[in-house]
Amino acid sequence: MVSKNIILAAALVGVLAFGGEQFAMSDSDRAMYAEMLENNPADMDVESGSELLEEYCDGDAGLAKFLGVSEDALPNYIAGFPRYIDSLDMVAGLDQVIQALMVQNGHKPFALASADMFSMLAYSKAIANDEKINIDVNANKHMKEAIALGDEVFNTKRGGRGLSCMSCHSPDVIGSILRTQPLPDLGSVENKAAATWPAYRMTKSSMRTLQRRFQGCMNNALLAVIPLGSKEMVALEVYVTEQAKGREIAIPGLKR
């Protein structure tokens, strides 16, 4: 908990140090951010995710069993998601694994976009807190295909304004200002997106997941929003996760 706060505080200083009148964070925003560093509202979602996982999936043990690993090995294994999952014969996000596990346990799975699923995902990923992201995009041909597809989707210009993710997240524009917002480096120690989502999003007053964050960017930039859990969405997650490889997982994150 303490180390997580230090990381967040460092990230915050990084953001605020950017300074200048172009930056949009007001003093009251700043005060709220500081308060939330102490007490991330999404901790409650994680807590409720823990209870739901217990109820529907037999908790950590059930998850470990489904994934075919010991409970001791679970954190490290989760730090490698999205992964190729044999029993699904596809590269899956952790939320899809939870759905499959719910089905196997005789339950109707929560929708990927539901708050309950966001909570379960947040808890499950938090099992890997302090582990370093260890995704292996060369593990097998499925992962190789996923990273290639993710690269393609990230670079495909589309939508009402002809933009791609790369238009705003390529190395040559990182740090530039888009309407008062510095463009984040998705893989940097400060942002490490894949290691810090699910996160509490202050501007949305709720916890969001990484794929949900992608949808936010699509929506803002007028790209047609693609659904959670689609092959392309999971591939994007693989691509963005690879950028934060080796970074320590700290869930739930706290974002502007």
Partner 1 sequence: MRKSLFMMITVGMTLASAADLRSAIEVPDASAIIAKDLLGPAKQFTMPKGCITDDKDAIARGSFIFHNLNGKKAKQNPPTGLSRKNADGKEKQYGNCVACHNIEGAKGGGNIGPDLTNYQEYFMKTGTRDNVYVYQKIADPRIDNPDTHMTVNLTTGLFTEREICDITSYIVSIKK
Q: What are phi and psi of 230, to 5 degrees?
A: -70, 155
Q: How many residues does the chain have?
A: 256
Q: Of partner 1, ligand HEC, none, which one does residue 142 interact with (CB within 5 to 8 Å by kind)?
A: none
Q: Of partner 1, ligand HEC, none, which one does residue 211 interact with (CB within 5 to 8 Å by kind)?
A: none
3 vs 219, beta carbon nearer partner 1? 219
Q: Of partner 1, ligand HEC, none, which one does residue 88 interact with (CB within 5 to 8 Å by kind)?
A: partner 1
Q: Of ligand HEC, partner 1, none, which one does residue 115 interact with (CB within 5 to 8 Å by kind)?
A: none
Nearest to 209 by CA among 158, 155, 255: 255
DSSP secondary structure letters along 156-171: --BTTTTB-HHHHHST
247 vs 255, beta carbon nearer ligand HEC? 255
Asked if residue 193 binds ligand HEC (CB under 6 A), the reply is yes
For the CB of residue 129, give the shortest distance to ligand HEC in the complex, in Å.
16
105 vs 134, beta carbon nearer partner 1? 105
List all residues 6 or more positions away from 204 whose beta carbon is below 8 Å from its beta carbon.
none
76 vs 181, beta carbon nearer ligand HEC? 181
List all residues 6 or more positions away from 171 whose beta carbon is below 8 Å from its beta carbon.
185
Rounded to a whole number of angstroms, the distance between the first and last alpha carbons of the chain is 20
Among 125, 212, 213, 247, binds ligand HEC (CB under 6 A): 213
Residues that bind partner 1 (CB under 8 A): 22, 24, 86-90, 96, 99-100, 103-107, 109, 111-112, 153, 156-163, 167-168, 170, 172-173, 176-180, 183, 222-233
Q: What is the CA radius of gyration of the chain?
A: 18
List all residues 6 or more positions away from 234 whose beta carbon is below 8 Å from its beta carbon.
82, 91, 92, 93, 96, 146, 211
36 vs 100, beta carbon nearer partner 1? 100
Give dist(CA 256, CA 254) in Å, integer.
7
For the CB of residue 9, give the shortest distance to partner 1 in the complex, in Å.
26
Among 79, 165, 233, 254, binds ligand HEC (CB under 6 A): 165
For the CB of residue 237, give the shortest distance to partner 1 in the complex, in Å.
13
Q: Of partner 1, ligand HEC, none, which one does residue 177 interact with (CB within 5 to 8 Å by kind)?
A: partner 1
For the CB of residue 168, give the shortest distance to partner 1 in the complex, in Å.
7
Long-range contacts of 94-100, Cβ-Cβ distance < 8 Å, separation of 24 or more: 94/121, 94/124, 94/125, 95/120, 95/121, 95/209, 95/228, 95/229, 96/229, 96/234, 97/63, 97/66, 97/67, 98/53, 98/57, 98/63, 98/124, 100/66
**Using N-to-C axis directions, what is the helix angle for 115-126 and 43-57, rounded to 10°?**
90
Binding site for ligand HEC (CB under 6 A): 163, 165, 167-169, 178, 181, 183-184, 186, 191, 193, 196, 213-214, 217-218, 221, 223, 236, 240, 255-256
